[in-house]
Chain A
Amino acid sequence: MAFAYTPGLRVAANTVVFKERRLPLAGKTLVEAGDPVIAETIVAKTELPGNVKMLNIANVMGLPPGDIPELLFVKEGEEIDENQPLGETKGFFGLFKNTVRSPIHGVFESYNKITGQAVLREPPIPVEIDAYLKGTVTEILENEGVIVESNATYVQGIFGIGGETRGELKVITDGPDEELAEELIDESCRGKVLLGGSFVSYKTLNKAIKTGVKAVIVGGFDDKDLKEFLGYDLGVAITGHEKKGITLILTEGFGRMTMAHGTFNLLRTREGMLASVNGATQIRAGVMRPEVVIPLEKAEIEKDSEKQAGAMDIGSPIRCIRAPYFGKLGTVEALPAELQVLDSEAKVRVLDVKFENGEIATVPRANVELIEE
């Protein structure tokens, strides 16, 4: 076996990015195939059914549920206003009438003669989705959304917090091994996407939020800071919905970790350009990783070949992703076919890696990832 397959994170200087922009429910698309869009362009909209209010009219009137329909002033499907009388008891010789009023503005959806319950629905909630990226609409998904295509620089992170946002990319540390320290953040960072180095602390992140930074891209973050930042211990890695006022993207993992040089250097060349970022991460079947997408202007586009994920061969650049060599970079030195016994006595497929300092070590193939350049 001369090569192996291993998952790697995509880091591409110039690639074609397709983004599906889909509504949560069927709706209307507002653009046509071929239309140029910017990140803010609204491409589709719909209305989510309004929230439901249940009102037990029979209880309020103090009558059997079956007696209610003839006392109602409104029909099913009729629009209602807040405080509008929905029905009234006959009272005693026309006196002591008991009136039921609507608690909401919306629609009187239905009344159930068995339970005495009326379903009232608030007005629909409008939902719009934007293009997220500067690019071109290449496909219309009938009633559901569109696909936007863009020539862009594309970097996948390993873990993120917070949803979609965008801003101008600003490089804030001198190198990939420098911590994004609190004092580096100032008023010039407002509205920007910051590229840091190896680490960001909870304290620094808070300052970034206060300063109005849109997103932070760094190598690592501490798990205990994550707990403090979120206010709870994240159990399952499904993120993206947090409303923390900032999007955080980790490129390497938890702890203090030098950002891969390739990633840092590539992003550095894109300083000043508009970056669309998304921290949404789902680590389960159908993995979803956070991303940084920087659409390129026509002039900058010179197609370079992107190495496809997957094929690992002698000489392939790799990164170790588990102790004892976590974070170390090197190249594949050998890919022995036979299984080998590790310190832990597990018998697995391994490879020999030659680190940057010339040292050679044997590691399980499952514990490395390809670096795509």
Chain B
Amino acid sequence: MATDCGSTTTKVILIEKKDGEYRLIRRGEAPTTGEAPAEDVTKGVLNAVGEIEDLEGRKFLKEGEDGVQVSPDSTDGVDIYMSTSSAGGGLQMTVAGVVKSMTGESAQRAALGAGAIVMDIVASNDGRLPHEKVADIRRLRPDMILLSGGIDGGTIDHVVELAEIVKAADPKPRFGVGYKLPVIFAGNKDARGAVSDELGEQVELKIVDNLRPVLERENLTPARDIIHELFMEHVMAQAPGYPRLMSWAGHYVDGSWKQVPIMPTPGAVGKLIEIVAKNEDIEVMGVDIGGATTDVFSVFKSGEETVFNRTVSANLGMSYSVSNVLASAGFDNVMRWVPFHMDEADLRNRIRNKMIRPTTIPQLLKELIVEQAIAREALRLALVQHKDLATGLKGVAQERTIGDAFDQTQTGATLVNMMTLSLLIGSGGVLSHAPRRSQAALMVIDAFLPEGVTMLAVDSIFMMPQLGVLSEVLPEAATEVFDKDCLIRLGTCVAPAGENKKVDVLAEVSITKQDGSTMSINIEKGKMHVEPMGVGEKVTALIKPAKNLDVGNGPGIEWQGDLEGGVVGIVFDGRGRRPFILPEDDSRRIEKLQEWSKALDIYPEGFINLEGGE
């Protein structure tokens, strides 16, 4: 059994091994109770587990409701109980590095990868005066500070200067008066003594290996591990009810009790995505669009290595942050996805009313369409932010040969490559609960513009956090349930990328089905087509792109492989990539949006007649 204590809902899942395979048996939920009046997160956990007890007709709670009963030998209770948490706003950190785009960014990647929200990056060259940095640290009240800077053997002065700023700020933690703020030093090993002298007495200082020991390499794991450890020991232990929850989570190994640490929710999701990418040896991207924030996770290859990245767009979301999506993307960018006209003032008031009453849901089709348009922009902006951070290391000397003379790639180019991406997973209310799965598929395609051949999926009930923490103890169970019960495969998207103004057919596709029958499909410029093909069904395909167009093997080069179906089918997208352009003319744009919506059957018949009025 595993719970995820979110900031609004506590979700619990029950997994059982039956006939040799791990499957999801039940799911329950209850409001999170981390704040007044209950102020004890375990109440929400008990309520959620209670729901499963009612549904299953079995006992899972201890007598007197004092926790989840973990008893491997009995029919009551469970074998393992574990939990993740993002209640109380999650883990909020400030990071510091000498050069903002180098150690500063490495520190940011370490903190984000551990599941934190990075509130500020303090750097020697961030343009602020020292007293402004001090004021900002004090104002933001982070739960933890990650201090890095200097490669091993490099600058000491600048690192100590950063320590001085932290000391002068003397920040106080958000929770718990009277405990010291955890500060992690993961910078130049030669500066350890000086940093200890500066900060040792004032904060809870932890020293780990340098996260950027040499310019050419990051070593983020020690910093991430200590962040998790401190999150448990300090931040969680101060939050209401957590010490009790921590004592519940664990299992028996050879008769003795072993605790399973509570993980920050995004950290757990990241773990799971890393495992999936590793097991299948593919590049994976996941996005979770919530009410307040949008998380993007990715695993991409960089040379021989696979690199995991996570970003949090703290102010892009569908309820609390919905107004910010409009402010960041602009009215026109949102409206370009809406297949009818709307008055700006009216739309602005509607969006604001959603923000101040975040739990409401669209009753009218028109409102649903507008919300899904906003979701596209939130997802698009989150991807832009992710691409900016998921980069190779900056400031690294590159060896170039004469052959590279015309290849002006810079250091720090993004690792995100939509062409080589194999699996794109969406989750969060607007995607998981879209009335039609095809709506989720089109939202993800429009926002992320996958190129070549990409499998699209949604996490049906957002159980990736629980599976992530499960993967720490039973990786095979986590991946099995992920594959069979968590992921809903929408289908493969085939989208040629590149420009060729002369052709009307971007690619010709020859398909051989499992029964031996064949068919051919042309991917026509500006059109979308869906070939129905169920979950698990596979066909062999030969895709011949037109000149200059790429479907995975390079411009004009054929691609051969399997295409897999899903609840939507196989989507052939001829709308173009690099560039993807919507018609500028309003009536033409609306006509095209309606045409694509019909091709994917995403809205009921009546939507074409929607006008400005209700």
Binding site for B on A (CB under 8 A): 7, 25-26, 49, 51-54, 109-110, 112, 114-115, 117, 119, 121, 144, 158-159, 222-224, 226, 233-237, 253-255, 281, 283-286, 321-324, 326, 342-348, 363-364, 366-367, 369
Which 4 pairs from chain A and chain B are nearest by CB?
A235-B324, A345-B435, A54-B130, A285-B7
Residue contact A112 to B360, C-beta cutoff 8 Å? no
Q: Specify the chain A residue showing the minimal Cβ separation from B178.
A: A26
| Residues in B whose Cβ lies below 8 Å from that of A237 | 320, 323, 355-356
Partner of B368, one of A49, A53, A285, A344: A344
* 18 new A-B contacts at CB < 8 Å, known A52-B131, A253-B356: A49-B170, A51-B134, A52-B168, A54-B129, A115-B161, A158-B357, A224-B344, A234-B327, A237-B355, A237-B356, A284-B89, A285-B34, A322-B360, A322-B367, A344-B365, A346-B362, A348-B361, A367-B360
Partner of B363, one of A53, A233, A285, A342: A342
Known: A52-B131, A236-B320. Is A224-B345 also a contact (CB below 8 A)?
Answer: yes
Report the minimal beta-carbon distance from A257 to chain B, rounded to whole angstroms: 9
Q: How far is the CA of A226 from the CA of B323 in the complex (A)?
A: 12
Residue contact B435 to A283, C-beta cutoff 8 Å? no
Q: How far is the CA of A53 from the CA of B168 in the complex (A)?
A: 10
Q: Is B420 an interface residue (CB 8 A)?
A: no
Partner of B353, one of A236, A253, A281, A342: A253
- Secondary structure class of chain A's binding surface, majority of residues: loop
| Residues in B whose Cβ lies below 8 Å from that of A226 | 352
Residue contact B161 to A117, C-beta cutoff 8 Å? yes
| Residues in A whose Cβ lies below 8 Å from that of B581 | none
Partner of B198, one of A112, A234, A236, A345: A112
Q: Is B349 an interface residue (CB 8 A)?
A: yes
Would you list 24 pairs from A and B whose C-beta atoms are within 8 A, ordered by A residue?
A: A52-B130, A112-B198, A114-B156, A115-B161, A119-B164, A222-B348, A224-B345, A226-B352, A235-B315, A236-B320, A237-B320, A254-B352, A284-B320, A285-B8, A285-B87, A285-B88, A286-B35, A321-B357, A322-B360, A322-B361, A323-B367, A344-B362, A346-B361, A346-B435
Binding site for A on B (CB under 8 A): 7-8, 34-35, 87-89, 129-131, 134-135, 156-157, 160-161, 164, 167-170, 172, 177, 194, 198, 292, 315, 320-321, 323-324, 326-328, 344-345, 348-365, 367-368, 433, 435-436, 604, 614
Residue contact B160 to A114, C-beta cutoff 8 Å? yes
Residue contact B157 to A114, C-beta cutoff 8 Å? yes
Residue contact A25 to B172, C-beta cutoff 8 Å? yes
Known: A49-B170, A53-B131, A234-B323. Is A224-B348 also a contact (CB below 8 A)?
Answer: yes
Report the minimal beta-carbon distance from B578 to chain A, rounded to whole angstroms: 30
Q: How far is the CA of A115 from the CA of B98 in the complex (A)?
A: 14
Q: Specify the chain A residue showing the minimal Cβ separation from B434.
A: A346
Known: A52-B168, A117-B161, A284-B320. Is A345-B365 also a contact (CB below 8 A)?
Answer: yes
Q: Specify the chain B residue showing the minimal Cβ separation from A227.
A: B348
Report the minimal beta-carbon distance from A369 to chain B, rounded to whole angstroms: 8
Partner of A283, one of B87, B169, B194, B320: B320
